[in-house]
Structure 1
Amino acid sequence: MSIASTQEHFDVIVIGGSYAGQAAAMQLARARRRVLVIDAGVRRNRFAATSHGFLGQDGRSPDAIAAVGREQVQAYLTVQWLEGKATHARRTQDRFTVQDERGQDFHARVLVLALGVVDDLPEIDGLSDRWGRSIFHCPYCHGYELAQGRIGVIGVGDVSLHQAMMLPDWGRVTLLINGSAIPDETQRSGLQRRGVILEPTAIRRIIESATVELVDDRLLAFDGLFVASRTRVASPIAEELGCAMEEGLLGRYIHTNEFKETSVPGVFACGDAARMAGSVSFAVGDGAQAGTAAHQALIFR
């Protein structure tokens, strides 16, 4: 449905229409609540050709999963969908006002923030061009497809040691230290038990599909590479509203309770912006929890 008027009041505004936002909106729509979804159309996994680990959708295109989800959400008559970017949000008495990039204001009693995150990647020549295609962050999402082949872990800190310890279940692993933290004796012993090879030489660039060129001119060919990106919430709206943030191993995210409510009453958050781990499965579960909790907030407050 198209937007009838910026003066229209909604029960809930969902900011972000990817997997978490769609799941939240569907729960609210099924409760026959009036919902506005504002979506800029920029999904975190837009670089990946296939999505894995999401029950019933394994191996499908992320685009296809999102498109079907949006179609199903929009089939509910109480849902309206606005393509665009929400830029500001504020509380005014007993409601919230959300402004979009066109300067339009929309009003609701409750907000659900499904803002997503941005991946900040190491500045290595050739890395960003291969992100989501042959260079990944999640072994559960992409490890199986490497068929127990050659896997490289690009070192960015202690989190890379964690990745290197996990990934031997998916293939033969080399940890490319690349100037990051050098494992101590205890860590080396653990990596050795897992069969991980340590490569101390720095990386010059990444070529072909997943071949690492080192500064000493050696080429190490891999079937896939993993790196732990730093993440940041893709919009300042949560902090603008005064939502408390947490500092995680990979970056800041929005603090929520077990019902996905933030520190600001009436504001819920879900998806990658509100948890340290990210996948389609987690996002959908998070969104469903946020949507049902947002509905109950409309009733019991």
Structure 2
Amino acid sequence: MTSSISIPMTSTSHSNTTLLKPNQNPFLFGQSLLPKPFSFAKRRVSVTPIRASLSAAKESVLKDFHERRALKIISGLQNFDRENVASVVTAADKGGATHVDIACDPDLVKLATSLTSLPVCVSSVDPAAFPAAVEAGALMVEIGNYDSFYEMGIIFSPEQIINLTKETKKILPSVALSVTVPHTLSLPDQIKLAELLEQEGVDIIQTEGGKCSNPSKAGVLGLIEKATPTLASAYSISRAVKIPVMCSSGLSAVTAPMAITAGAAGVGVGSAINKLNNVVAMIAEVRSIANSLGISSGKLVVPEEKALRL
């Protein structure tokens, strides 16, 4: 039996924001942090380069999505095992991924940034937890990766997700924001929520569905069956919004290229990597997925292009 989760909303004032150390991460420095003694004229001169810098940094993080070649490796929203997270981050770095997604914990962010120069994304359903992780070095935040909550019978309503999004945008308006659309919604409702999220200024829509899929076949057929729900969401949502869509959950080297063909700007892979028991196997799996997307050669290759070369 499922229940709808209730997330307490904590408002964050500008005075709280000024307690952060902006020099540790450019995304934390904005107009609201300028010294109060400055005159209005001086603020106008100072804010322009700051905004330009923030915009450039954000665009750098989103570049692979706009080029439709992003590969995000996910360690898990509630995975705080430092050894496992370190292995996943190392695999992402060595295997050819473009981004890595970890639990929203400042210490884990510092660990990740010590192991890779890839943009680090943090996942949470608590907007108040994001600033500390961003201060520690995270360059993207994700409202989502709900799989672990489903196992507890907890689901998220569209209203709650919109509220979480608004709160996050209020706290960190200049940080790249990805929001997952739950597979627990019907496909038309997923599309409607995605459109509302786009209106709220979300940068990336992420799909899911692997957890709800129970393949009846083994091998390649089973891999395709498992990916079907998230592929269907990516296809439908990518045609309804203009922002990039990341297809995630239940993907593999077999189905990752299908996601791009379906309209996704990138893929997110979690369990296929973090379920492996050693970093060498993890690196090999990430590399296999990256190769299937043509990322290692700097050019994404979709199935139609492969066929033309035969």
Instruction: Pick the structure with greater CA Rg.
Output: 1
More RCO (CA 8 Å, sep 6+): 1
Q: TM-score, normalised by structure 2?
A: 0.29
